Amino acid sequence: MKQRLLWTLLATFLHAAAAGVDFGNPTATAQTDGAAEVLLPAPPERLTVRGRNIVNRRGEVVSLRGINFGGWLMMEIWIPSLELEWHDRLPQMARELGFEAEWRAADKEAGGFDDDKERIEDYLARLHQKLQDKIPADKFQAYLDRFHREPPVYAAQDMDALLRRRFGDAGAQEIWDAFHNTWITETDFQLARALGFNFVRIPFWYRWFEDDAAPYQYQEYGFRYLDRAVAWAREHGLYVMLDLHGAPGCQSPWDHTGELSRARFFAEPEFQRRAAALWQAIATRYRNNPTVFAYDLLNEPFSARDVQQWTAAHDRIYRAIRAVDPHTIIVMEDGYKLEEPAYRTRGFFPKPGPLGWTNLVYSIHFYSGWDPELTAGDPRFDHDQVLRDLLRVARREQQRHNVPIYLGEFSTMNDLPNDLAAMKRFMTRFNELGWHYSPWTWKYVNDTGRGSIWGVYQYNRPWTHTLNLHRDSRATILDAIGRLTMDNFSLHEGYGKILREVLAQPVRAAR
């Protein structure tokens, strides 16, 4: 196993060298429009914003081309496939009880779940009403009994509560420790750098730093892993962006905040105060470590009512950070507001100047195509139209605000030829425009069998058993986690070839 990993590392370095990446001189420059511009900056040199670009201390333009280490410090159960998602678990439950066809018919009649607009509880009530009309009363009662005894694991909060209920705090912590010590290790930083990335975005959950029962009292648990990640990044020539993916109260209704359908962050000022205080503690810890080049304040803050509510919350966090750290770049995301008709034409982000915001980057996320977790890909999907729409709104925001643009998450998700070709076009265009980017995500366990680029590295053997966290023993859970070592992952060759090429393209300054 180790031999295969060593060959993977060697092959990756050789491909990168062939593409022109100089690993012996990580500050190698590319000559562009008569100015020296840095392709691969060398930590720990501090980076800063100058107009529409990010520059080093010599004023050379730097191109940040990174990758997301998704699923590590913010658990999303579908990424490592440690539990079925709720939309797979419920029909499995119905199948075990003998009426899967009726369940799927009820789901179709209920209209599916729109996680942007409704709470999961409302959808389930509608689904169960439809299901009750289709099956005998005793079967429906058996289903409800099973549903309440073994409810779906919607998000990280449900997983954590279930583990603690079954195995106690010590047993749950053993499982979390095993996962955090396995999913991302120093090898991942080595491989990311070898492929040509120059930074990693690290999504994290507030719960690894702060207990809801003791707010404002910060634990070393989360910092221990961030410290380790920052040290590994520095050792291997990578920068780090820290990303608050799951904030207190949840900044969106989506499961990757840690709780599905909560979305109370913007409605309750106390959650905003807690997020600001946590960020201040993080900034205090890393303010003198330029390897941490940026703080991404809130991942996908979708649930802000309007730009005024969005601005007030971000301003609170910004000022808490700047009180202790005047230097580190701050990233703010629109939370898909630029896809809404009201903002698509007139723009969303506020002007930084009147707010006193400096050293600032505005970030947009987008996904193009169909999620292979849910359905097959489409060889005719028009990714170019998605790109045209994105370029229009992102260029306008950059022109309005004179700040760098960062595409913090994006993917075509499937790995059909048109999907892979689109990823190449996306990143090539971003390079030409001087925009910064990090596709989602680094590693993935594909339990569907459908082709996917959800992971640059993917589990390379059959995933024969996705856990049932209600039923599987602690030993079985730990055994599954033990299989997640990097020895058992391989580079998606088609995707890897594209990444090697685009990551080595010349640097262009944003104009």
pLDDT digits (tens, 9 = 90+) for 316-330: 999 999 999 999 999
pLDDT at 31: 35
State the DSSP H helix or E strand holding residue 154, giving kind and residue range, or none if neither: none
Query: What is the pLDDT averaged over residues 485-502?
Result: 98
What's the gap between Cα 40 and its chain centre? 23
Query: What is the pLDDT averaged over residues 403-422?
Result: 97
Is residue 441 reached through a cis peptide bond, with omega within 30 degrees of 0 on the bond before it?
yes
pLDDT at 198: 97
* DSSP secondary structure code for residue 261 in this structure: T
pLDDT at 464: 85
pLDDT at 34: 36
Closest CA to 388 of 352, 422, 342: 422
Integer CA distances (angstroms), 259 to 115, 120, 141, 253, 360, in order: 12, 11, 27, 8, 29
Q: What digits encode the pLDDT tens for the residues 433-462?
A: 999 999 999 999 998 888 899 999 999 998
Query: What is the pLDDT averaged over residues 73-77?
Result: 98
Q: What digits encode the pLDDT tens for the residues 266-298?
A: 999 999 999 999 999 999 999 999 999 999 999
Cα 28–31–35 angle (5° rounding)? 110
Q: What is the residue extent of each domain of the chain?
A: 2-80+185-446+492-503, 86-149
> 82 pLDDT band (50/70/90 cuts)?
very high
pLDDT at 42: 55
Closest CA to 102 of 125, 146, 134, 133: 134
Q: What value does the mean pLDDT of the chain take?
A: 92
Domain 2-80+185-446+492-503 has CATH 3.40.50.620: no
DSSP labels for 426-465?
HHHHHHHHT-EE--S-SEE---S-S---S-SEEE-S----
> 375 pLDDT band (50/70/90 cuts)?
confident
Give the whole-angstrom CA distance, residue 187 versus residue 68.
15
251 exposed, middle or buried (CB, 10 Å; 0-12, 13-18, 19+)?
buried
Query: What is the pLDDT averaged over residues 194-202?
Result: 98
> 39 pLDDT band (50/70/90 cuts)?
low
pLDDT at 3: 33
**Torsions phi, psi for 258 (to 5 deg):** 110, -20
Query: What is the pLDDT averaged over residues 142-151?
Result: 98
Alpha-carbon dihedral sign for residues 49, 53, 56, 60: negative
Please determine, for residue 426, whether its predicted confidence score (pLDDT) is greater than 70. Answer: yes
pLDDT at 40: 53
pLDDT at 43: 56
Give the whole-angstrom CA distance, residue 508 versus residue 511.
9
Integer CA distances (angstroms), 345 to 168, 341, 396, 397, 406, in order: 52, 7, 9, 11, 20
> 38 pLDDT band (50/70/90 cuts)?
low
* DSSP secondary structure code for residue 361 in this structure: E
| Higher pLDDT among residues 64 and 24, named by residue | 64
Query: Across the strands, what pairs with 491?
Result: 457
